[in-house]
């Protein structure tokens, strides 16, 4: 894909959905206003803002109720696993009753940085999978250098009728098949635009398009040509354009199908009906 800061064009007017973003990490309300406004101008009409601990989960729900087209998830990220306790989980369950709360996560395992002990991560991941199942919510999974244990725990606690997504997918095709066999979707991040992302590019090229979501993971992992800068939902166009190029299809087809997938997974309203 030609590296240019000029955003790719959507000719059919069918917008994109950023299935994973951290709006709560922006520094001010004005910054959030600007990000959401710019996203809509670039045809990113819906954003899922993600909870990673109690405070960010509360903020995610607040933002979802403030902005049309913004929806929330709640959960305890593996980095924050030591915050998990009965009182926190009770508060998350209460947040889960909010009208615009659509998923449970970001939960999972992170063996790369291990900000929390591995055993504690496994314990809290298991506890939260049970909560998500109880609440009948789709799960948003974080997996970093923990493929085997992540799959094992999900299998052990499953099945999950509400399905879920492996966010910011970082594995190869063999792992992609395992994830798909679990009934989960695969979310493609901006990393797919990086020159050295051959495994992810193969996954984006070969998995069924009806099992794919797109995400920014903003403010992290901005796609080329913004690599190294703060990521924004508007940059999702570049990820969609790369997926389209890899698959030899139009960006409009990528937008249409991935948006449908995201709407189906998270029970979102049709475009134009967002609240």
Binding residues for a divalent metal cation: 20, 22, 106, 142, 167, 217
Are 96 and 56 in contact by the 8 Å Cβ rule? The answer is no
DSSP 8-state assignment for residue 72: E
Using DSSP bridges, classify how beta strands 101-110 and 139-144 pair: parallel, antiparallel or unpaired: parallel
Nearest C-alpha neighbor of 119 from the set 67, 73, 84, 158:
84
Nearest C-alpha neighbor of 124 from the set 95, 92, 102, 148:
92
Q: Which residues does the annotation place in the binding site?
A: 20, 22, 106, 142, 167, 217
| Pairwise CA distance, residues 119 & 68, whole Å | 39
Q: At a CB cut-off of 8 Å and minimum separation 6, what does 254 contact?
A: 209, 214, 240, 243, 244, 247
Are 54 and 97 in contact by the 8 Å Cβ rule? The answer is no
- Phi, psi (deg, nearest 5) at residue 164: 170, -170
Residue 181: how many CB atoms within 10 A of its CB? 10
- SS3 state of residue 166: strand
| Pairwise CA distance, residues 168 & 176, whole Å | 12
| Pairwise CA distance, residues 245 & 189, whole Å | 15
Structure tokens at 194: 């990086």
């Amino acid at each position: 894909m030609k590296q240019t800061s000029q955003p790719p064009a959507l000719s059919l007017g069918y917008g994109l959905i950023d299935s994973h973003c951290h709006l709560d990490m922006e520094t001010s309300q004005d910054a959030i206003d600007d990000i959401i406004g710019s996203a809509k101008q670039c045809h990113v009409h819906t954003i899922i803002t993600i909870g990673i601990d109690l405070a960010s989960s509360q903020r995610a729900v607040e933002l979802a109720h403030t902005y049309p087209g913004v929806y929330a998830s709640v959960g305890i990220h593996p980095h924050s696993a030591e915050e998990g306790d009965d009182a926190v989980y009770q508060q998350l369950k209460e947040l889960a009753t909010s009208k615009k709360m659509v998923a449970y996560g970001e939960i999972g395992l992170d063996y790369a940085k291990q900000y929390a002990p591995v055993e504690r991560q496994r314990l809290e991941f298991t506890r939260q999978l049970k909560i998500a199942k109880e609440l009948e919510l789709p799960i948003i999974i974080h997996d970093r250098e923990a493929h085997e244990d992540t799959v094992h725990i999900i299998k052990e606690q499953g099945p999950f009728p509400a399905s879920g997504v492996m966010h910011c997918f970082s594995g190869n095709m063999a792992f992609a098949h395992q994830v798909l066999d679990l009934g989960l979707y695969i979310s493609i991040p901006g990393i797919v635009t990086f020159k050295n992302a051959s495994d992810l590019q193969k996954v984006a090229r070969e998995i069924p398009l009806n099992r794919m979501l797109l995400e920014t993971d903003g403010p992290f992992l901005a796609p080329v040509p913004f690599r190294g800068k703060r990521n924004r939902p508007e940059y999702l166009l570049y990820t969609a354009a790369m997926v389209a190029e890899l698959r030899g299809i139009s960006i409009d087809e990528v937008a249409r199908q991935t948006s449908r997938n995201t709407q189906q997974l998270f029970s979102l309203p049709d475009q134009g009906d967002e609240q």
